[in-house]
Amino acid sequence: MRTEPAALILIVDDDLDNLRVLSTLLTDSGFRVLTAKSGQDACHKLGQITPDLILVEGMMSEVDGFELCRRIKINPRFQKTPVILIIARNENQSRLVELNLESVDYLAKPFLPIEVLIRIRLNLQLLSLTRSLHESTNLLNQEIIARQIVEAELYTLNQDLEQKVIERTQALTLVLNELQLREEKLTYAAFHDSLTGLFNRAWLMQYLSEIFEQEQPQLGHAILFLDLDRFKSVNDHLGHIVGDKLLQQVAKRLQNCIEPSHKIVRLSGDEFLIFLVNQDGIASVETVANSVLQQLHIPFEIDKYQISIGVSIGILPSTLNYQQPTDILRDADAAMYQAKRSGKGCYIVFTNEMQLQTLKRLQLEGELRQSIEKNEFCLYYQPIFCLESQKIVGLEALIQWQHPQKGLISPDQFITIAEDMGIIPSLDLLALKLACQQLYQWQQELQCAESLVIHINIAAAQLQHLDLVEQIQKILYDNHISPSAIRLEVTENAFINGSSIVTQVLEKIHDLGIKLCIDDFGTGYSCFSQLHTFPVDTLKIDRSFTKNVNASVESAAIVQTLINFANSLGIAVVAEGIETQIQLEDLQKFGCEFGQGYLFSRPLPIAEITNFLRIQDS
Ligand code: C2E
Ligand code: MG
Ligand code: MG
């Protein structure tokens, strides 16, 4: 256990006897004692040690006790150190009053030794108390300071925290706003067409579903299903940028035709839909349809082009009695399809009869899908004559569908459907195969078959596939048919709309030695100026011109020009659809070399056409 060392007491007296007596007394009482024989001696010693108490004789020569007390107390080191001044009982008290120093006590002589000891102990106790008080105060102060520091730090931390909370809140608000904005943008994009800003198909489907979920309304809504006429041609000829601008302008014009409560939707490509809310009767719907026809009939000015298009509109007068959005679209589309078939640029109101037709078409599609596997196709052949010699120079193979219930169906009733369904490639290759097999058979039997050229129709879409060339080559090879005995007929539009792949395919076919013929010439965007760039050797004037060649001056002029132009390029001309003697004579007059049509022969089945060829052979 650690014990406190005894207190160190400095006794200052120039009377050596007194010094000794006091020293002995204190040493005996357990104190450590140090002595100084004069004021100076004391000052000197106090420079080296710090006693716990100083006992000073008041009456000393040179530096007396009072002066020594004053000097001691000047020194801050001894400010708290108790000093006991020993004075005579009769000492002038005024000196004591004057002295008036902190921790300076006095003892009057003569005193009893016990008095000295009591006084010393009291002062030491006081010192100890003062020290501990001082320490406590110090500790307290330190604690206060520490607390103040902590508080200040806490305050700063709080401030920082608050600032951070503010900043985080602001950042979060920004992120939230941004997210909200993004969500709004995404929702907008999901339900709008980016090109025109109109609603899109997804929006329409949702909107229609919501309408169906509501209670049965009193009034129905009417629908206008729009499909632009000739848009594809604009896109193909003038490029997508012009096409896009055109669609934007169309969207703007459509806005002019409707009231704010009505909705316009861009369904796809050049298909739009106008949704007329709460329509009571067809009159107001037809007014809108007429306004749309009128607006879209006005030519558009885009970049340096003046573009004329049109629109075919199918009207569904009411959505009442419908339960499915898809049924609404199906019927409006059917009416639009009728408008296209009726010559475009008009509107047709949906009827129940059309619904039957649509169902029929759907049924036909289903049957058509299976018909190839079921081998339900055969070829009819229509002879092509040299108009001068009246001899058969070729046969056009026309595919026929031998429907198990409906009997023979001609191609104009299913080719477009087959094209829409994407099964036309199989049909075309089947037609080529059947034609080659038949030609080979004729070549074995008939002399005239050797110079016979078979015309095969190929859908424009086929020319997008590079492997078509190999497939054709294989069919010819398998059936021992020379390429020069085959002429492929492709509609005029395939040449004009042709991509680089189409051009490549056409050239490869031509390089094989297969002849190429432009079918239905004059029905598309005439490709007069480009005619010399295509590897074609024959051009077929469309039936619509042949029909009018003797009736319309304009048609006659066109036919004449066509023949002259083709002749000048060394391209042979076939007129199709010759039905009357007058048409034949006019065509002969214009220098048309070849022709086909009901006047000579309808398309015939194999047995009959074989007879035809036999007659020619004899
Ligand atoms: P197209 O190639 O222009 O064939 C001529 C069409 O006119 C044939 O119709 C033919 O029967 C008809 N026709 C011929 N002479 C006359 C006439 O004097 N008067 C009238 N009013 N019509 C006449 P069809 O057989 O219905 O064929 C329609 C179209 O179907 C063809 O037009 C052709 O583009 C297409 N087609 C036929 N067979 C095939 C095939 O195997 N593949 C492809 N992709 N298309 C085919
Ligand atoms: Mg043809
Ligand atoms: Mg034709």
Distance, in Å, from the CA atom of 416 to the CA atom of 426, rounded to the nearest integer, reads: 14
Average pLDDT over residues 127-131: 85
Computed over its alpha carbons, how large is the radius of gyration of the chain?
60
pTM, rounded to two decimals:
0.61
Could you tell me if 393 and 522 lie in one domain? yes
Could you say which of 323, 350, 377 is where a domain stops? 350
- Res. 541: pLDDT tops 90: yes
Position 249 scores a pLDDT of 97
Omega before 110 within 30 of 0, i.e. cis: yes
Q: Determine the residue of 379, 395, 412 to mutate for testing ligand 1's pocket, defined as the one with the most ligand atoms within 8 A of the Cβ atom.
A: 412
Provide the residue range defining the domain that includes 373. Answer: 365-617
Could you tell me if 178 and 206 lie in one domain? no
- Res. 281: pLDDT tops 90: no
Q: Which element (helix H / strand E) includes 97?
A: helix 93-99
Provide the strand spans (E) within 303-374: 305-307, 310-316, 347-349
Is residue 1 situated within a structural domain? no
Q: Which element (helix H / strand E) includes 560?
A: helix 553-568
Could you tell me if 394 and 312 lie in one domain? no
β-pairing, 392-403 vs 377-386, is: antiparallel
Average pLDDT over residues 224-239: 91
Distance, in Å, from the CA atom of 135 to the CA atom of 129, rounded to the nearest integer, reads: 10
Position 493 scores a pLDDT of 73
Could you tell me if 303 and 282 lie in one domain? yes
Q: Kindly give the distance from the C-alpha atom of residue 216 to the centroid of ligand 3, in angstroms, as a whole number.
A: 51
Position 540 scores a pLDDT of 95
Q: Is the CB of 519 under 6 A from ligand 1?
A: yes
Could you tell me if 67 and 19 lie in one domain? yes
Is residue 292 situated within a structural domain? yes
Average pLDDT over residues 13-17: 94
N-to-C CA span, the chain: 150
At 434, is the secondary structure helix, strand, or coil?
helix
Closest to 220 in 3D by CA, of 228, 207, 211: 211
Position 614 scores a pLDDT of 93
Using CA positions, which residue lies closest to atom 29 of ligand 1? 412
Which of 33-47, 356-370, 602-616 comes out lowest in average pLDDT?
Answer: 356-370
Q: How many domains does the chain have?
A: 3
- Res. 101: pLDDT tops 90: no
The enclosing domain of 331 has a CATH number of 3.30.70.270
The enclosing domain of 26 has a CATH number of 3.40.50.2300
By CB atoms closer than 10 A (0-12, 13-18, 19+), residue 6 is: middle
Distance, in Å, from the CA atom of 19 to the CA atom of 34, rounded to the nearest integer, reads: 10
Q: Which residues surround ligand 3, an ion (CB under 5 A)?
A: 519-520, 576
Q: Residue 226 in contact with residue 265, Cβ under 8 Å? A: no
Q: Residue 493 in contact with residue 524, Cβ under 8 Å? A: yes
Q: Residue 266 in contact with residue 196, Cβ under 8 Å? A: yes
Q: Which residues pair with 384 in a beta bridge?
A: 394
Position 257 scores a pLDDT of 94
When mean pLDDT is compared over 60-64, 128-132, 217-221, 574-578, the highest value belongs to: 574-578
Is residue 52 situated within a structural domain? yes
> DSSP letter at 88?
E
The enclosing domain of 415 has a CATH number of 3.20.20.450
Q: Kindly give the distance from the C-alpha atom of residue 547 to the centroid of ligand 1, in angstroms, as a whole number.
A: 15
Distance, in Å, from the CA atom of 583 to the CA atom of 548, rounded to the nearest integer, reads: 8
Position 527 scores a pLDDT of 62
Position 461 scores a pLDDT of 82
Could you tell me if 153 and 237 lie in one domain? no
Nearest bound ligand to the CA of residue 542: 3
- Upper half-sphere CA count for residue 20 (Cβ side, 13 Å): 3
Position 103 scores a pLDDT of 75
- Res. 525: pLDDT tops 70: no
Q: Kindly give the distance from the C-alpha atom of residue 344 to the centroid of ligand 1, in angstroms, as a whole number.
A: 21
Is residue 355 situated within a structural domain? no
Is residue 588 situated within a structural domain? yes
Could you tell me if 340 and 371 lie in one domain? no
Residue 105 backbone phi and psi in degrees, to 5 = -105, 175
Could you tell me if 214 and 121 lie in one domain? no
Q: Is the CB of 598 under 6 A from ligand 1?
A: yes
Closest to 282 in 3D by CA, of 221, 203, 227, 373: 221
Q: Determine the residue of 398, 417, 492 to mutate for testing ligand 1's pocket, defined as the one with the most ligand atoms within 8 A of the Cβ atom.
A: 398
Could you tell me if 297 and 340 lie in one domain? yes
Position 67 scores a pLDDT of 92
Q: Is the CB of 111 under 6 A from ligand 1?
A: no
Mean pLDDT of the chain: 91
Q: Residue 456 in contact with residue 487, Cβ under 8 Å? A: yes
Distance, in Å, from the CA atom of 312 to the CA atom of 228, rounded to the nearest integer, reads: 6
Q: Residue 352 in contact with residue 332, Cβ under 8 Å? A: no
Could you tell me if 346 and 479 lie in one domain? no
Q: Is the CB of 428 under 6 A from ligand 1?
A: yes
Residue 227 backbone phi and psi in degrees, to 5 = -135, 125
Q: Is the CB of 398 under 6 A from ligand 1?
A: yes
All residues at 6 or more sequence positions from 562 whose CB lies less than 8 Å from its CB, including other chains: 521, 522, 539, 541, 545, 573
- Closest-lying ligand 1 atom to the alpha carbon of residue 424: 44
- Upper half-sphere CA count for residue 525 (Cβ side, 13 Å): 19
Distance, in Å, from the CA atom of 301 to the CA atom of 242, rounded to the nearest integer, reads: 10
Q: Kindly give the distance from the C-alpha atom of residue 599 to the centroid of ligand 1, in angstroms, as a whole number.
A: 15
Nearest bound ligand to the CA of residue 397: 1
Which of 36-40, 249-253, 428-432, 496-500 comes out lowest in average pLDDT?
Answer: 496-500
Average pLDDT over residues 219-239: 90
Q: Which residues pair with 595 in a beta bridge?
A: 385, 575
Average pLDDT over residues 400-411: 95
Closest to 457 in 3D by CA, of 410, 415, 403: 415
Confidence of residue 524 (pLDDT cuts 50, 70, 90): low
Q: Kindly give the distance from the C-alpha atom of residue 489 to the centroid of ligand 2, in angstroms, as a whole number.
A: 6
- Closest-lying ligand 1 atom to the alpha carbon of residue 430: 41
Is residue 192 situated within a structural domain? no
Position 368 scores a pLDDT of 93
Could you tell me if 420 and 320 lie in one domain? no
Closest to 203 in 3D by CA, of 264, 278, 258: 264
Could you say which of 161, 187, 213 is where a domain stops? 187
Could you say which of 350, 375, 408 is where a domain stops? 350
Is residue 359 situated within a structural domain? no
Distance, in Å, from the CA atom of 578 to the CA atom of 542, rounded to the nearest integer, reads: 10
Q: Is the CB of 528 under 6 A from ligand 1?
A: no
Tell me: the pLDDT tens digits for 481-500?
999 999 999 988 777 655 67
β-pairing, 300-302 vs 572-575, is: unpaired
Could you tell me if 240 and 173 lie in one domain? no
DSSP collapsed to 3 states, 347-358: EEECCHHHHHHH
Tell me: the pLDDT tens digits for 422-439?
899 999 999 999 999 999
Confidence of residue 237 (pLDDT cuts 50, 70, 90): confident
